[in-house]
Amino acid sequence: MMQQGEVQGEQWSSRLAFLYSIGAAAIGLGTLWRFPYVAGANGGGAFVILYILFVMAICVPLMIAEMAIGKRGHGSAMTSVDSAIIAAGAWRGWRTIGTLSLLIPFFGLSYYSIVAGWAIDYSIASIARGFAGFDAEQSRAMFGALAASPVRGGLLQLTFIMATAIVVGLGVRRGIETVSRIKMIALFVILIGLVIYNALTVGLGPSTQFLLQPDFAALGAEGVLTALGQALFSTAVGVGVLITYSAYLPAESSLPRSSMALAGGVIIVALLTGFAIFPAVLAYGLKPAEGPNLIFVTLPIVFGKMAGGRIIAILFFGLIALGAFTTAVGMLEPVVAWLREKTGMGRAPLAAMAGFAIWLVGLPSLLSFSTLSDFHPLAFAGMTGKTAFDLLDFTIANLLLPANALLLAVFVGWSCRGLIGARETGLAPRMLGAWRFVIRFVAPIAILGLGVHLLL
């Protein structure tokens, strides 16, 4: 059995490798799938401005806090949190942070992989036949047939999870770094290519106005809180990956620079994704406020109308699948790191076993679109109409993620205030006070406001 910190026997090959690996883990469906439709549903420009503000003002300080715990602890999320608790003489109940940092990625990946499987299916469909001539009815029928097929969906989900397990099993440098580097290069090349294509064919004028010209009257209180939730979601705060990946950092690494670089990358990709999607959506008279159906129902119609739409569809859905893949790697790694400490076994078998367990746990969510579509397990508690997939998504995204982010802020800001300071964070003395103010007061109040709104 590994002792505390032994998982740190692996290290990133460089600070740049850490940056593109953490970027690849954070930039997934939250940015490529969720950001466009929540921005579209909340008025565009005003939402985008608030989203950027929340990422920089609240998520960056939280990222520094998480990274400081991992870099100091040199172990899994559970081990690193335990180490901080012992060193600070803090309440043992703070171990909840470590527990949530394992449960969130484990159960999150169990349903996240379903959507990733859809992206793989659409990538294959784009290559095989494309979407030429698709109308709204055909597009809805195609997505409905995929979601309602448990065998097809289950095989796609299992394939995706096992591919994730192979990468994690290869280790930090051979597996995670290699795939992350490929993803980040492909991500920017494809997104920039799509934006240039849109500029040359349909123009960026209307989408620029939609995404960058604020109309705060169209936002409302709900939109403000949605922007905060999206900021937390897209920067992987509270998932456990920031703590775990930071455990493999060399001692001299700068956390403020790493956090700012990650935040900047997330924002740039979110904006590029908007400019890759909305120009064509607006040009063909479709609605940007289509919600989750924007990617899998609306965009195939757009691709079917575009010149060269088949190639664009292949690139776009391939990008979605690749983005989901590296995020899944980041979600599986915290689980495997903890299992290695507990069992002393090798990466490869543990990754395979954890992956298969995640697939089994995800079966009720998968079946929520077919045989269990009428099964609403918490209807008696007021969750009428919510399937197993809906409940897991709501619990992870709306309850556990904000809760863990809140606990992290309070733990680091108050219980560890004498333990995590300028040396651990790398912050200059004049910035340390501002960071602590955000961690102690601003972030908890904002997250509590989000939580209250979601529960009411």
Half-sphere exposure at residue 153, Cβ-oriented, CA atoms within 13 angstroms: 25
Residue type present at position 77: A
Give the relative orientation of helices 77-88 and 60-73 as an angle to the nearest 10 degrees: 90
pLDDT at 268: 96
Locus of tokens 């939730």: 229
What are the sequence ranges of the domains in the chain?
6-455
Looking at residue 3, the DSSP 8-state letter turns out to be P
Residue 351: predicted pLDDT: 98
CA–CA separation, 324 and 86 (whole Å): 36
pLDDT in tens, the chain (456 residues): 444 444 547 899 998 999 999 999 999 988 887 888 788 888 888 999 999 999 999 999 999 999 999 999 999 999 999 999 999 999 999 999 999 999 999 999 999 999 999 999 999 999 999 999 888 899 999 999 999 999 999 999 999 999 999 999 999 999 999 999 999 999 999 999 999 999 999 999 988 988 888 888 778 888 888 899 899 989 999 999 999 999 999 877 889 999 999 999 999 999 999 999 889 888 888 777 665 677 898 889 989 988 889 999 999 999 999 999 999 999 999 999 999 999 999 999 999 999 999 999 999 999 999 999 998 888 777 778 889 998 998 888 888 999 999 999 999 999 998 888 888 899 988 899 999 999 999 999 999 998 888 777
> Nearest-CA neighbor of 326 among 217, 427, 123, 187?
187
pLDDT of amino acid 109: 97
pLDDT at site 162: 97
Q: Is 99 left (phi over 0), alpha (psi -120 to 50) or beta?
A: alpha
Q: End-to-end alpha-carbon separation of the chain, Å? A: 45
Number of helices (H) and strands (E) in the chain: give both, helices first: 23, 0
Q: Assign 77 to helix, strand or coil.
A: helix
- For residue 3, the model assigns a pLDDT of 47
Q: In 177-298, where does DSSP find H-type helix?
A: 178-201, 205-212, 220-234, 241-246, 255-283, 293
Q: φ, ψ for residue 290 (rounded to 5)?
A: -90, -5
Q: What is the residue whose two structure tokens read 């455990």? A: 247
pLDDT of residue 280: 86
Domain 6-455 maps to which CATH number in 1.10.10, 1.10.3470, 2.40.160, 1.20.1740?
1.20.1740
**Contact predicate 237/405, CB 8 Å:** yes
Q: What pLDDT is recorded for position 289?
A: 64
Say if residue 93 is exposed, middle or buried (CB neighbours under 10 Å; 0-12, 13-18, 19+): exposed
